[in-house]
Amino acid sequence: MERETQFIGQSAAFQDAVDRASQAALLDRPVLVIGERGTGKELIAERLHRLSARWDRPYVILNCAAMPETLIESELFGHEAGAFTGATKSRAGRFEEADGGTLFLDELATMSMGAQERLLRAVEYGEVTRVGASRPIRVDVRIVAATNEHLPALVDENRFRADLLDRLSFEVITLPPLRAREGDIEVLATYFGQRMAAVLDWDEWPGFGPRALAAMEGHDWPGNVRELRNVIERAIYRWADPTRPVDAMSFDPFASPWQPAARKTAAATEAAAPAKAGDAAPAPTPHAVQTGAVSDLRAAVDAYEKQILSDTMARCRFNQKVAAEALGLSYDQIRHALKKHGLNQ
């Protein structure tokens, strides 16, 4: 998947975050970017660099979570030959590589306390010391860091240094999750849909059907924009007729009537243990049903049945025989049910 560099969205929450980043970019101060996975923290960090006076200097990225604790300090500050086993020659760290520019520290909350202490010194004094060296090196680096953790809570738990947080939090830009970006789901879906249709050489973009739009608006999007892109592209390449609006969504790529059984965790095993005498057995809840606002039982049951059929057909790639087996129905029964709800097109 190619790197996505555009900001797509029209909601006030999203535009406020982008505008805030544009303003902060002009000041040569550290910035923290906070947000759930898939909200675009990397894009905001790059914007902070490109709109700054350092735009023509190095932009260096380090994913702290990808570095084992034993190597994170060497990656950040460099090392001298012989500093540790395998260090056959001297190597500059990311701070030296970013001298004059911007250093983006992704997944900051995963950094060890030892690395945090050395990072604090680098931020405060503008000096780094290579592992195995005795003399510091002057560097001029702007720090932009990102995390999906609430850092003040980590400070309270003694998992993050309070003094480092103080120095990095000149400005904090918190990105809204997709579910809070009113109106942006359809905008983003259309953008990704048009691009995928072009990749597949469709003559034109047919748009989305009402079922697909309703399903997208009703989904919680825990993976945010990254998840939305995957769902849209998957739906389009699976859609058999490019002349009709795309009207089926598969949110879980692992959903299958033949998927392997999940391993039981200790908690699941405990939950499955026989109940003691006198304990009430929990009722099975294969589907979540909202019952608080039901005023027409027959209509509610029909709507629920239609939703189950629609979801199952999409999950089974519209194979009626497979869907019938997944629902415990005969082939004739599912054909009748689909016809009843107008889903047999």
DSSP per-residue letters across 212-272: HHHHHHH---TTHHHHHHHHHHHHHHH-S-TTS-B------TT--TTPPPPPPPHHHHHHT
| pLDDT over 60 at 151, yes or no | yes
CB 29 within 8 A of CB 171: yes
The residue written with tokens 């034109």 in the block is: 204
pLDDT of residue 290: 57
H or E element that contains 31: strand 31-34
* CA atoms in the 13 A half-sphere facing the CB of 336: 5
pLDDT of residue 335: 82
Give the model's confidence band at 180: pLDDT under 50 very low, under 70 low, under 90 confident, else very high: very high
| pLDDT over 60 at 234, yes or no | yes
Does the pTM surpass 0.85? The reply is no
pLDDT of residue 28: 95
- pLDDT (average), residues 283-298: 57
Q: What domains are defined for the chain? A: 12-176 (3.40.50.300), 183-259+300-340 (1.10.8.60)
- pLDDT (average), residues 85-102: 88
Mean pLDDT in the chain? Answer: 86
| pLDDT over 70 at 127, yes or no | yes
- pLDDT (average), residues 117-128: 92
Percent residues over pLDDT 70 in the chain? 88
For strands 102-106 and 59-63, give the pairing.
parallel
CB 83 within 8 A of CB 130: yes
Give the model's confidence band at 69: pLDDT under 50 very low, under 70 low, under 90 confident, else very high: confident
- pLDDT (average), residues 79-104: 87
